[in-house]
Amino acid sequence: MAVGPVLRMPEPLPEPGTEARTADAPAELARVRESLEAVAADLTARGEKAGGEAKDVLDAQALMAQDPTLVDDVEQRIDGGVTGERAVFEAFGAFQEMLVGMGGYMAERATDLGDVAQRVIAALRGVPAPGVPESDTPFVLVAPDLAPADTALLDLDKVLALVTRDGGPTSHTAILARSKSIPAIVGVTGALDLVDGTVVVADAVSGVVTVDPSADEVAAAEQRIADRRAAAAAPLTDGALADGHAVPLLANLGSPDEAAGAVALGAEGVGLFRTEFLFLGASQAPTVESQTASYTALLEAFPGRKVVVRALDAGADKPLAFLNDAHEENPALGLRGLRALRVKEQILRDQLTALAAAQAATTADLWVMAPMVSDAEETEYFVALGRELGLRTVGVMAEVPSLAVLADQVMRTADFVSIGTNDLTQYTLAADRMLGSVASYQDPWHPAVLRLVSTLGEAGRAASKPVGICGEAAADPLLAVVLVGLGATTLSMTPAALADVRLELSKHTLEQAQALAAAAVAATTAAGARQAAESLAG
């Protein structure tokens, strides 16, 4: 949460004109190539300075600036008679449209590509690229969206919060803001109507921006900010409810490099390790040896601790040429996750073999799970394969509603289930989590989602098997308590949220958590569920 005056991002550069070029084609192309190289070098340097997750994002943007397909398209357009600026604008724009059409993960990358285009055009014009405004005093930054290059290097002494019109929970704006502990509210209708200097309260937990707040609203917000600072400064303890009921707090990680930071913030292990970083951008699947080295580095950071690794979660929404790059009309419902891995089973076998080797070489407690699992048959397939290749603990992710409906069948085979609340919400409410037009449906507080979590929790208790949460819902402190009341045994989140959730859990007993859960499940809307829990929690 943050309180402060609004300051808007400057408008993007004007669209290049359509006049015919006057320079000869080779000279114009050389100028564009020079600008592309300069932008790529600048993005790489920004990544080196930012480090961590931001470095991975900016390195990916640098690669966009050097993409041979885009360069070829620019060259063809220059040969057709347009200026270098116009050629860049049109070529990048066409590629953006293609990414948006693919949906899911790739649609989110369209914003990143648009930022690269703006930077290249600025370099061609010899003007600064649009960026974060300068201010002598702290402010709430409002923008259509924010480029990764800008998010990664925000001045934390000046930028109190981000409010954007566009973006979703998995946009790089949201991800990088969370990693830097900056309150970020994305996909806000009417965000661009806010005027510079207007005071707002930006509440990233509820997703609400209060314009011109009253004195009481400001006081309440400042008290919550003070409570959060106190929670962050408190001694690190294991997660537990007020009655001592243990709720291990784990970290969601995307690279072994993030492990040390998570441990410093009190992560008791890893609840979701995304292995895509090894695969995305590669022309062929990484070798067993290279994967083993990466997984071993991760496990060594958590000796004796639980580390849950997700098998490659890719497919049509994150196309890989060596896995499945076929165009699909609706990739969110396509050949992704375990579905894609079963088609190219050797890629899955190699990954599980590497994980088993890392397990044997370390003392961490390795758990491995499959993404996008629909039913008991797919569960049996993955668990059997994991056992065959030497893994000790093998489970599945609950992201598809059918898996929750069949939870009792799934629990007979799986060692554990981990609930991915982002996708579970998307599929339960039939609302693409990347579409701003249906963003209001993308709320894990919805009673339909909570009832599916409850079904999974009950099945886990009946089978005496763990049910974890690894979606962003676990980072919402009060919702985390509700999820425990519904039967969640562990919570995994972005490390920046650990202190807030640890503090909130400590305020409630298990009986109280179950009462909060019952009140939320009985509501008829997501807002009603939150209000019911807040009212009962006091």
The catalytic site residues sit at 172, 470
**Element holding 178 (H helix, E strand):** helix 172-179
List of residues 6+ apart from 134 with CB closer than 8 A: none
DSSP class per residue in 416-443:
-EEE-HHHHHHHHTT--TT-GGGGGG--
**Element holding 491 (H helix, E strand):** strand 490-493
Sheet with 2-8: list strands edge to edge. Answer: 184-185, 159-164, 139-143, 2-8, 199-203, 208-211
Task: Residue 424: count other Cβ atoms within 10 Å of its Cβ.
Answer: 26
d(CA 451, CA 188): 27
Which residue from 510, 526, 494 is spatially nearest to 208, judged by alpha carbons?
526
Instruction: Phi first, then psi: give them for residue 371, nearest 5 degrees.
Output: -90, 160
Cβ–Cβ under 8 Å, residues 385 and 346? no
C-alpha to C-alpha distances, 22 to 126, 290, 454, nearest whole angstrom: 18, 50, 67
C-alpha to C-alpha distances, 410 to 79, 339, 352, 405, 460, nearest whole angstrom: 59, 17, 20, 10, 10
Which residue from 14, 34, 39, 127 is spatially nearest to 84, judged by alpha carbons?
34
What letter represents residue 502's amino acid? R
Compute and round to an integer the Cα radius of gyration of the chain.
24
d(CA 273, CA 306): 11
E-strand ranges in 107-245 read: 139-143, 159-164, 184-185, 199-203, 208-211
What are residue 184's DSSP bridge partners?
162
Which residue from 13, 39, 38, 31 is spatially nearest to 84, judged by alpha carbons?
31
Secondary structure of 44-84 in the HEC alphabet?
A: HHHHHHHCHHHHHHHHHHHHHHCCHHHHHHHHHHHHCCECH
